[in-house]
Amino acid sequence: MAAAADDDELRRRAAALREVFGDSSDSEADDLPVGGAGREQWRWEAVEGVRGLWLCAAFLSADEQSRLLTAIRREGWFSDARNQAMRFGDLPSWAVELSALIHEAICFGDVRVGCGLELKNEDEDACPLPSDLLWRKPLFDQMIANRYEPGEGICAHVDLMRFDDGIAIVSLESPCVMHFSRAEQEVPICETLESVHAEPTKIPVYLNPGSLVLMSGDARYLWKHEINRKPGAQQWGGRELEQQIRTSITLRKLLPSPN
């Protein structure tokens, strides 16, 4: 009975996901992955040098990206020169389903060790999100949508400590390179991109449209992340990336308010 209930829940999620992201041959309810078989494009890569940093380059298909952008634009957030919108608690339905899709990708994507409920403690580093975070309810309850014009990026920072471990970033439209550097202290910091201090060692991560980044543990607390989109700063594969409008969705979980 429990297995049947789990299957029903997965099929309910698939139907809701199709409503937001549309039909595709690999997301039909009848073909919903059960028991660890993920969608073909879900391939998780642990970023070397930053423990707890994972990249799923092909998280969303081109059609899913288009549908997600349409849902975002319908919100009307980016009119009147605004480039950011935040939501706390009750998220838009499409963001709730995006969270569910992230959960499915973690559970069923191609990683070295499966990420189901039976995951052993010694295998935590081989899962894109530790099991205690993966199975929390809700997975995320805070969202930031950002729209960046060419040349606009984010300064080096560690996310505020009011947010729990486990942060997801979905990239849309223009590709970019996000750099990670060791934090000098375990508190939120934000340095200007023109800092005169000695340049720290940075680990670059290429974020193509439709990619998903997960940060937990060291990556979330001990590493700063930044996107410098000033002229000449976006280099990948020996060439400078052409900068256009970039949209991102960041999903986080609020910590309980202190008593």
The β-bridge partners of 223 are: 182
* pLDDT at position 105 over 70: yes
Tokens of 108: 């069923």
pLDDT bin (cut points 50, 70, 90) of residue 126 is confident
For 243-257, the pLDDT digits (tens) are: 899 999 999 999 988
* pLDDT per position as a tens digit, 160-200: 999 999 999 999 999 999 999 999 744 444 444 444 455 66
Distance, CA of 124 to CA of 239 (rounded, Å): 36
Confidence of residue 155 (pLDDT cuts 50, 70, 90): very high
How much is the pLDDT for 187?
Answer: 44
What pLDDT score was predicted for residue 200?
66
Angle between helices 2-21 and 93-108 (to 10 degrees): 120
Paired sense of beta strands 203-207 and 154-157, if any? unpaired
Domains of the chain: 8-17+40-114+124-183+199-258 (2.60.120.1520)
